[in-house]
Chains A and B, each alone.
Chain A
C-alpha cells in the first residue's frame, strides 16, 4: 500500500497545503535569494513527482523523454509538457472517474474545467482542476499587488460575461473571483454573448458623477472596442482619480496588432484613465498564475515603471534557444517554458510557443501579436484551425482562455 492509498495522508493534499503556504508567504523582491531558490526547487520537484503519479499521461511522457534523473535536484530537469497536449489528453489529476473509485474515494469531479484557446497548431483543449485553492491563492495575491497596491476596494466593471454564462473560461473565472473577493458591486457588460455598451455608459457616468473610482477588467479587444465606440460617438468619461483598468491581451490567434501606446492613449483620452493606471496581464488557461505589468504598482511606489511583466516568485520562466533548446543568456529572446507552482492538478512545467526574454523577474513578450501580415498561399494550420474554430460560439469578442 502506497502513501496515496492511506486516507488522510494524501500527499496531494499535503502538497497543496505546502504550496499555498509558499505562495502566500513568498516575498516579491526575494525570489532569487539562495533560500527562496532552494525552497522553489524543493517544492517543484516534490510537486513534479506527485504529478507523475496522479497524471498518468504526464508520468508516461516524463519517463519517455527521460531527462529526469532526480539526482541533481534541479527543477530545470523537470520535463515541460507541450501546452498543445491539453487538447486531446486528459492531462489532469482531476479527470472524472480517474482511479478514485479504485482507491475507495468518492469519484473525483473537477471543481472547474477551463477550455484553452489552443495554440496556433492545435485545437482547443481542457484544463481540469480538482481544487481551485492554489489558483485563487496565486490570483488574489498577484492581482492585489498589481491592481490594488493602494488597498482600495473598488467597484468593478467586467468587460465580459459572468462565470455562469461562460463556465469554461479561465479568464471569466478569474474575474469572478476578483469581483467576489477583492472588489464591490460587480457589473458584467457582456450578456448572452452580446456586449451591452449602454450598461458601461451608465456605470461610467455614475462613477464620474459620484466621483467614485472604478476598476475595469476585460480583454484588450473588448475594452478597445468600447473605447473606439465612445470615441466615434464623442463620448468622454473623465473618471475620478484612482480609476484603473486591467486588460489582457493578446488574443492568441487573432491577427490584430494592438499597439500598446495607442491603446493607453485612447484609454486616457476617452476614459480619463492615465497610462500609469492601465495594467496589462499575461496568462493562459494552462497556468494557474498570471503575470502583470507593474505600471500601477510603480505609480503607487512613486518610481518609474519597468518594462515587461512581473514573474511571480512562485513561477520560473526559462528562455530557450528555439533551435537548440538550451537556456539563453539573460535578456536574449527565445522560446518560453514556465514552471508554475500554482499548477498541481495539471503539470507545473509548460512549454509554450510564445517567444520572449527574461531579465531578473521581468518577462517581455515578442512576436505574440506581431504577425498581422501573414505569409501567402501557404500558412495552413492557423487559418485552417481558425476557420474550424469559427464554427464554435465565442462568448465575447475576446478569447476563450
Chain B
C-alpha cells in the first residue's frame, strides 16, 4: 500500500486539475519515499486562497456549526477504527516516512483523534465558545447576553513535524469555527496533513473544498510573503528563526499565534518516593520520556527529585533507567540520524567527563548498546536541555525553591511540568510552579496527553482567533427608572 508515490499535498478538485506537480525524494537516501508535491508560486498561492475563500462562502459560512463538528468527529472515528483503511493507510505512510516506529504512530493516532471523536469536537467548542450555536447566530451566554462568534475567513497554518499528529487539532480548530484553511505541511512529516484533508473531503465534499495543504521550503521569502501577507489569521509552529520572519510579514490586523520551541520538566516530591510506588512512578516517568522519542514540547528533559523520601533520588534514577530499558522493546525508538546520535554521544562523553572531574556527584546510566537511552544523575538543580532521543537528567534537590531558581532564567521555554505529589502538598507545589508562568502542570505519565479543553502554550485554541458580536438589549429597565445621580430620601419630590 505504501509502494510508489505519496501525494503530499491536497487541493480542492477544481483547482487541483490546474496545479503543476513535481516528485521529490524525502528522507534518508537509503530509505527515501517519493512525494508528489504541488508546485507553489506566489500566483498559485493567490489562486488557491481565492478558491478556498469562495468555497467557504458557499459551503461553510452559513452551515450550522454543529453539523460541521459532527463531520469532523466522524473523520476522527475513521482514524481511530483499527479496521478502517484510513487508519491503516495513515500508519503505513507515517511509518514509511521514517520518523517514528509503528507502535509510536498507532499510539499517536489514538491519542490525537480519541478526544476529537464521539462528541469531542462539540465539547471542545463548548468549552471555549459556550455552545456551537454561538458560531451560527447570537446565542445567550452564561449571563444571558446574546453573542455570536466569528472565526476568521481563512487561516494560514504552518506545521512542525516533531511529533506525529501535530496538525490535527489546528486543522480541526479552523474548520470548527468555519474558517477556510490554507496549510503549509512540514518537511519533517509531510504525510498526515494531506491525508487528513483528503479524508475530510471524502466525508464531506463541501468542507473539503475549503482546504488546501501544500509544502514549500521554509524561508522561501516570496512564498512566505505571498501566503502570510493577506492572511487574516496565522497559527504557526516552529523554531524562532522561521516564525519570526512570518511574524514580520503578517497583516497588521491579522490574528497571530506562534508556538515556538519549548521543553518540559518534572518535579517529584519526597512523599511520592515510596518503595512500593517506585516501579509505577518510574514507569510513568519513562513513558513520558519515551513517547515521541522526546521530540515534543511536552517531553520532559529533566526530573527534579526531592531528597529525603523513603527512597532517594539516586534510587529513582536507577528505577527510571530500568524503565527506559524496558521501553526499548515496549515502545521502540526509531533510530536517530547520524548527526543526532553524534550529539547524544557527545552529551554522554561530556557527562562522563563531569563524572570524572566534577563536584556534583555526576553519574551516567545508559543503554548497554547504542544511544537508546541516556540518564545523567547529579546533585543540585540546574536547567540544561538534552539532545533528546531519550536523554534525560535527574537532579537531586532539597525543595521547590531550588528548582524555581534554576528554572527562572529559562521559564519561558518550559511548556509543562510533570508533578508527582499528593493532596495539600500538590496544591502548594503546583502554586509555586505555576507562579513561574509555566502553562501546564500535569501528573507524570499524562504529560503527553494534554486535554483539548485546556490550552496549548498557555493559549486557548479557538478564542485567540474569534471575533464577537454582542447583542445588547439596551439599558436594563431598572437602570432607566433610576437616573444616574445620588439617591436622596425625597428624590422625586420635585
| A359-391 interface code vs B (CB 8 A; 1 in, 0 out) | 000000011001111111111110110110000
State whether A372 touches B342 (Cβ < 8 A). Answer: no
| B365-387 interface code vs A (CB 8 A; 1 in, 0 out) | 00001110000000000001111
Name the one of B160, B262, B341, B386 contacting A335, with C-beta atoms under 8 angstroms.
Answer: B341
| B225-258 interface code vs A (CB 8 A; 1 in, 0 out) | 0000000000001111110000000000000000
Query: Chain B contacts of A83 at CB under 8 A?
Result: 346
State whether B239 touches A374 (Cβ < 8 A). Answer: yes
State whether B352 touches A376 (Cβ < 8 A). Answer: no
> Is A122 positioned at the interface, with any CB of B under 8 Å from its CB?
yes
> Is A14 positioned at the interface, with any CB of B under 8 Å from its CB?
no
CB distance from A370 to the nearest CB of B (A): 8
Q: A82 — nearest CB in chain B belongs to which residue? A: B349
State whether A82 touches B350 (Cβ < 8 A). Answer: yes
| B347-368 interface code vs A (CB 8 A; 1 in, 0 out) | 1011011011100000000000
CB distance from B266 to the nearest CB of A (A): 15
For the complex, give the distance between the alpha carbons of A64 and B356 in Å.
6
> Is A120 positioned at the interface, with any CB of B under 8 Å from its CB?
yes
> Is B111 positioned at the interface, with any CB of A under 8 Å from its CB?
no
For the complex, give the distance between the alpha carbons of A334 and B345 in Å.
12
Query: Chain B contacts of A74 at CB under 8 A?
Result: none
Among A105-113, A155-163, A214-222, A347-355, the stretch that binds chain B is A347-355
Query: Chain B contacts of A374 at CB under 8 A?
Result: 238-239, 241-242
> Is B133 positioned at the interface, with any CB of A under 8 Å from its CB?
no
For the complex, give the distance between the alpha carbons of A381 and B383 in Å.
10
CB distance from A86 to the nearest CB of B (A): 10
> Is B13 positioned at the interface, with any CB of A under 8 Å from its CB?
no
Name the one of A122, A323, A380 contacting B263, with C-beta atoms under 8 angstroms.
Answer: A380
State whether A82 touches B346 (Cβ < 8 A). Answer: yes
Name the one of A61, A355, A371 contacting B338, with C-beta atoms under 8 angstroms.
Answer: A355
For the complex, give the distance between the alpha carbons of A371 and B369 in Å.
27
Query: Chain B contacts of A63 at CB under 8 A?
Result: 356
CB distance from A120 to the nearest CB of B (A): 7
State whether A378 touches B262 (Cβ < 8 A). Answer: yes
Query: Chain B contacts of A366 at CB under 8 A?
Result: 338-339
CB-CB under 8 A for A377 and B262, given A335-B345, A354-B342, A384-B413 = yes
For the complex, give the distance between the alpha carbons of A366 and B161 in Å.
22
CB-CB under 8 A for A378 and B261, given A65-B352, A65-B356, A355-B342 = yes
For the complex, give the distance between the alpha carbons of A376 and B295 in Å.
9
> Is B396 positioned at the interface, with any CB of A under 8 Å from its CB?
no
Please report which residues of chain B, range 294-351, place their CB below 8 angstroms from some CB of chain A when the two chains form the complex.
Answer: 294-297, 299, 301, 335, 337-339, 341-347, 349-350
CB-CB under 8 A for A64 and B301, given A121-B343, A376-B166 = no
For the complex, give the distance between the alpha carbons of A65 and B217 in Å.
44
State whether B338 touches A367 (Cβ < 8 A). Answer: yes
Most buried by B among A81, A255, A375: A375
> Is A60 positioned at the interface, with any CB of B under 8 Å from its CB?
yes
Name the one of B159, B186, B296 contacting A378, with C-beta atoms under 8 angstroms.
Answer: B296
CB distance from B384 to the nearest CB of A (A): 8
State whether A323 touches B341 (Cβ < 8 A). Answer: yes
CB distance from A284 to the nearest CB of B (A): 13
For the complex, give the distance between the alpha carbons of A57 and B47 in Å.
64
For the complex, give the distance between the alpha carbons of A386 and B260 in Å.
14
> Is B259 positioned at the interface, with any CB of A under 8 Å from its CB?
yes
> Is A322 positioned at the interface, with any CB of B under 8 Å from its CB?
yes
Query: Chain B contacts of A120 at CB under 8 A?
Result: 343, 387
For the complex, give the distance between the alpha carbons of A63 and B415 in Å.
40
State whether B260 touches A373 (Cβ < 8 A). Answer: no
Name the one of B337, B344, B346, B369 contacting A352, with C-beta atoms under 8 angstroms.
Answer: B346
Query: Chain A contacts of B294 at CB under 8 A?
Result: 378
> Is B410 positioned at the interface, with any CB of A under 8 Å from its CB?
yes
State whether B346 touches A380 (Cβ < 8 A). Answer: no
For the complex, give the distance between the alpha carbons of A158 and B415 in Å.
45
State whether B186 touches A376 (Cβ < 8 A). Answer: yes
State whether B240 touches A375 (Cβ < 8 A). Answer: no
For the complex, give the distance between the alpha carbons of A65 and B350 in Å.
11
Name the one of B259, B342, B356 contacting A353, with C-beta atoms under 8 angstroms.
Answer: B342
Q: B356 — nearest CB in chain A belongs to which residue? A: A64
Name the one of B238, B339, B342, B350 contacting A376, with C-beta atoms under 8 angstroms.
Answer: B238
State whether B353 touches A61 (Cβ < 8 A). Answer: yes
State whether B237 touches A335 (Cβ < 8 A). Answer: no
For the complex, give the distance between the alpha carbons of A323 and B338 in Å.
8
> Is A51 positioned at the interface, with any CB of B under 8 Å from its CB?
no
Most buried by A among B355, B357, B387: B357
Most buried by A among B217, B219, B346: B346
CB-CB under 8 A for A378 and B342, given A65-B356, A85-B353 = no
For the complex, give the distance between the alpha carbons of A64 and B194 in Å.
52
CB-CB under 8 A for A89 and B353, given A121-B343, A373-B187 = yes
For the complex, give the distance between the alpha carbons of A367 and B343 in Å.
12
> Is A119 positioned at the interface, with any CB of B under 8 Å from its CB?
yes
Give A contacts to B, CB under 8 Å: 57, 60-61, 63-65, 80-85, 89, 119-122, 255, 322-325, 333-335, 351-355, 366-367, 370-381, 383-384, 386-387
8 further A-B pairs in the complex, CB-CB below 8 A; given A57-B353, A120-B343: A85-B349, A355-B339, A355-B342, A375-B162, A376-B162, A376-B261, A377-B160, A387-B240
> Which 6 residue pairs spanning A and B have beta carbons closest together?
A376-B160, A64-B356, A322-B341, A380-B385, A82-B349, A375-B162
Give B contacts to A, CB under 8 Å: 159-163, 166, 186-188, 217-219, 237-242, 259-263, 294-297, 299, 301, 335, 337-339, 341-347, 349-350, 352-353, 355-357, 369-371, 384-388, 410, 413, 415
A-B contact pairs, 11 of them (CB 8 A): A60-B356, A80-B349, A83-B346, A374-B238, A375-B295, A376-B188, A377-B160, A377-B238, A378-B261, A378-B297, A380-B261
